[in-house]
Amino acid sequence: MFQLISIQIIKMFLLMMVGVICSKCGLIDSQGNRTLSNILLMLINPLLLVNAFLQEFDSGIMPALLITALVCVLTHVIAIPLAHFAIREKGNPDYSVERFSAVYSNCGFIGIPLVNSLFGSKGIMLVSVYLMVFNVITWTHGLILITGDTSLKQIKKGLLSPVVIGALTGLCIFLFHIPVHPILKDTIAYISDMNTPMAMIIAGVSLAGTDILKALKSRGIYLVIALKLLVIPVILTLVLSLLPGEPYIYMTALVLAACPTAASCTMFAIRFNKNHLYASEIFALTTVASMVTIPLIVLLGEQLIR
């Protein structure tokens, strides 16, 4: 497990270094990075969720899918209040970035390959549902957190975002056995495959403008690391250990929750003019720290969730 995680993180950092090089060579400037971020959030992410549901329907997996959706909600019911009370707003201009980073995980980019290696195709189906609920929460609560706009108009905008529409479209295709032409299916798959590389390159371009040594001196980053990688996953593990059900369902959700900070924090920060350099620093440092914390959380889960 540790080796698998290490390999995935090394791959992500290599992709990030491509972004750093592109920035240093002048291939991608800040405006270009903003454009790429918009393409990722508004086109590639939605089609990734559609693609996740483009497989044969199996009614036997429906209870597991429902439980996974509920566990995703439970995870954020735990994480959102903890981040709110632990990360203070007063005197902290970047509190929204820190709270977002503590709550939302990189469950797609890192979580998918990890779960696939542990549980195979049945695990990937659970990841698809988790990602659907995750993105609904991200594009409602997460969007409000970053923008500061709590109006009904903003909530409606989040619920009608391309990512949420993509998730619902994929779910309808799956539940109602809607046929998709192989050519269209392949096209969607090709675009979906761009998700991780583009996200990492965008993060790398932002990272090129950061001062990592300065970031290591930030108390806020250490608080985010503690919350995101240890406190929230441990509390979730303890709660899940009390619930009945198939252990692989809970372990899948636990792996996803234990992943480092979501790359989408950097994407949102770029799109809505927040401190994207700080978001990139948090993303980089939580990713490194997760090499140690994810195996520890999984080990704890294996001992308690039976």
Model confidence pLDDT, tens digit, residues 225-261: 999 999 999 999 999 999 998 898 999 999 999 998 9
pTM over 0.75: yes
**110-126 mean pLDDT:** 75
Burial of 11 (0-12, 13-18, 19+ CB in 10 A): middle
Task: Report pLDDT digits (tens) over 127-163.
Answer: 888 988 898 899 889 988 998 877 777 677 777 878 7
Q: Give pLDDT, residue 90.
A: 86
Better-scored residue on pLDDT, 113 or 140: 140
16 phi and psi angles, rounded to 5 deg: -60, -40
pLDDT for the residue numbered 1: 59
At 121 the pLDDT is 63
pLDDT tens sequence across 62-92: 899 899 999 999 999 999 999 999 999 888 8
Which of 121-130, 171-180, 192-201 is least confident?
121-130
The pLDDT value given to residue 76: 96
| Mean pLDDT, residues 269-289 | 86
The pLDDT score that the predictor gives to residue 72 is 96
* Domain positions in the chain: 2-6+36-304
Confidence bin at 175 (pLDDT 50/70/90): confident
On average, the pLDDT of the chain sits at 87
pLDDT at 263: 81
Domain 2-6+36-304 top-level CATH class: mainly alpha
- What pLDDT score was predicted for residue 122? 72
| Percent of the chain with pLDDT strictly greater than 90 | 38
Question: Is the pLDDT at 112 greater than 80, yes or no?
Answer: no
Segment 197-208 mean pLDDT:
84
Closest CA to 262 of 78, 100, 50: 100
Angle (CA) 279-206-49 rounded to 5° is: 70
pLDDT reading at 166 higher than 90? no
